Amino acid sequence: MGEIRQSITLRDTAEMPGALRGASSRTVWARAARHLARSTSGKIGLLLVALVLLMALAAPLIAPHDPYEQTVFRLYGPSLYFPFGTDEFGRDVMSRVIYGARISLQVGLIAVAIALVIGGLLGLVAGYFGGWVDSVISRVLDIVFAFPDILLALALLAVLGPELHNVMIAIGIVYMPSFARIVRGPVLSAKHNEYVEASRVIGAGTLRTLFRHILPNVTAPLIVQTTIALSFAILSEAALSFLGLGAQPPTPSWGAMLSGGRRFVEIAPWTAIFPGLAIMIAVLGFNLLGDWLRDVLDPRAVR
């Protein structure tokens, strides 16, 4: 979280020369805490994300069974031994849902990291260099943006093959333009600021100017966008796995579980209800967290 503090302090010092770095960073955290105390949805978001993180990190400790172990108890209803019932192979649905958090978070984090790094760099370069570089990058991103997102992911998976690591690449490409756009605008306006020119006069190289002086201006919106993109990425992975193009059996992915459970939904509703509930909790959690972060980090943003 060091970057958040830095971005706010940099912005603050730019606006109020002479302000103490330590003092202004304390107010950010104070504001965050104050805001969290008032914001019910922020608290719920934090709680839901914590729940998903806990499931992913502590899966072997909290899962009652092996998520891959098949038993003779096929399509058994929820009981003390199988709290969420069993699926068509007699596997424990609860353990699979818990392990599913790992798949969702892993795919979500890597996909968003791809979008953030590549999209962010493209936006940075486009905004900083301007001219034809900007035109070329912006045109290319417009084209990626022109495809309906799920369709673009489908097409990429059709070519790359239905595997989980390809899902990460596909989702990463789909969300790349939105990160590039967020970075490009502020960079375009920040590069004419006096402190940027000053650093160049002192003799700072392009890279140093970009990363030390310009990038901190966009960290706040980037953090908000990353959180919200995580919820979209988790939802996209579930959708693609649901369509049979993501995680393949027997991987415990929420989307794939839901797709399997759908065939038995009338006799064994629990096989479809619990994985879907997990998707919703994760998506809702990151959404609420993103909204809250936007309020805290970017008070000027219109809601």
Helix (H, G, I), strand (E, B) or coil at 6: helix
Whether 224 and 298 have beta carbons less than 8 Å apart is answered as: yes
- 258 contributes a contact to other proteins by CB under 8 A: yes
Per-residue tokens: 81 = 């031994």
Q: What is the DSSP string of 71-86?
A: -S-TTPPP-SSSTT-B
- 170 contributes a contact to other proteins by CB under 8 A: no
- 164 contributes a contact to other proteins by CB under 8 A: no
Q: Which stretch binds other proteins (CB under 8 A): 54-62, 182-190, 221-229, 280-288?
A: 280-288
Q: Which stretch binds other proteins (CB under 8 A): 88-96, 121-129, 157-165, 203-211?
A: 157-165
Residue whose CB is less far from other proteins, 140 or 204: 140
- Chosen residue from 113, 154, 169, 188 binding other proteins by CB under 8 A: 154
- 168 contributes a contact to other proteins by CB under 8 A: no
Whether 255 and 241 have beta carbons less than 8 Å apart is answered as: yes
- 158 contributes a contact to other proteins by CB under 8 A: yes
- 146 contributes a contact to other proteins by CB under 8 A: yes
- 149 contributes a contact to other proteins by CB under 8 A: yes
- Chosen residue from 4, 183, 235, 256 binding other proteins by CB under 8 A: 235
Whether 286 and 228 have beta carbons less than 8 Å apart is answered as: yes
Which residue's entry shows tokens 């020369």? 17
Whether 272 and 261 have beta carbons less than 8 Å apart is answered as: yes
- d(Cα 57, Cα 48) in Å, to the nearest integer? 14
Count Cβ atoms below 10 Å from residue 14 Cβ, excluding itself: 17
Binding-site string for other proteins from residue 126 to residue 145, where x marks contact by CB under 8 A and - marks none: -------------xx-xx--
Q: How far is the CB of 234 from other proteins (least distance, A)?
A: 9
Residues 6 or more apart in contact with residue 144 via CB below 8 angstroms: 152, 173, 174, 176, 177
Closest CA to 236 of 166, 140, 160, 135: 166
- 39 contributes a contact to other proteins by CB under 8 A: no
Residues that bind other proteins (CB under 8 A): 41, 139-140, 142-143, 146-152, 154-155, 157-160, 231, 235, 238-239, 242-245, 255, 258, 261-262, 265-266, 269, 272-273, 276, 279-280, 283-284, 287-288, 303
